Amino acid sequence: MMVTVLLYLFGILAILSALGMIFHKNPVYSALFLIVTFISLASIYALLGAQFLSIIQVMVYAGAIMVLFMFVIMLLNLRSEIRLPIGRPAQVFFGILFGILLLLESFLVLKSGTLSGAIGNFPQSRIDSIGSVQAIGNLLFTKYLFPFELASILLLVGMIGAIVLGRKKLPKES
């Protein structure tokens, strides 16, 4: 009962703050609204029994990524741009129209499709008994070892790319 109420509460909070994120003029407030969305999603993960992912969500998304966003917003001086409306009227109208169409489409898919698939061997009781972190870690280092290593290469490439793109061009010494 309590879990149900909390799930609906955090779901509504996530939707409201996501709407605030896209409709607020000031990008700083948009970033703050997005943090609220991420934290309510983290709470939903915790209520669904994925404790490890909940912690990771708070640390990586609400912590690291949003700090990066805030840093860039503060670095670029956007004072003059927040006086403009968020988009042209026709752009806003058609954007919302297409968004609602997409939403209806996914509702139709959800309504017509049935969830089928092989039932795995990790029921919630087993995850709880061996611990969320250990269960994920075991799979990550055995079955998914290759994608895990690829992810490390991806992060390295991302880091190098950010450094190369972001550095200032120094004048050539001659």
Partner 1 sequence: MVPISNLLILAAILFAIGVIGVLIRRNAIVIFMSIELMLNSVNLTLVVLAKQLQSLDGQIFMLFVMTVAAAEVAVGLALIISAYRLRATVHVDEINLLRG
**Residue whose entry in the numeric block shows the structure tokens 């956007």:** 78
- 119 lies in the binding site for partner 1 (CB under 8 A): yes
- 120 lies in the binding site for partner 1 (CB under 8 A): yes
Find the binder of partner 1 among 31, 39, 43, 58 (CB under 8 A). Answer: 31
Interface characters, 1-30, with partner 1 (x: CB under 8 A): --xx--xx--x--xx--xx-xx----x--x
Task: Give ∠ CA 45-12-15 in degrees, rounded to 5.
Answer: 90
Distances (CA, A) of 42 to 7, 37, 111, 135: 11, 9, 26, 19
58 vs 174 by CB, closer to partner 1:
58
147 vs 174 by CB, closer to partner 1:
147
Distance CA 174, CA 172 (A): 6
- 121 lies in the binding site for partner 1 (CB under 8 A): yes
163 vs 173 by CB, closer to partner 1:
163
Closest CA relative to residue 165, chosen from 70, 42, 72, 46:
72
Find the binder of partner 1 among 112, 118, 170, 171 (CB under 8 A). Answer: 118
Cβ atoms 30, 22 nearer than 8 A: yes
- 73 lies in the binding site for partner 1 (CB under 8 A): yes
Find the binder of partner 1 among 128, 145, 149, 151 (CB under 8 A). Answer: 151
| Cβ neighbours of residue 10 closer than 8 Å, sequence gap 6 or more | 40, 41, 43, 44, 47
- 96 lies in the binding site for partner 1 (CB under 8 A): yes
**Tokens matching residue 87:** 């988009």
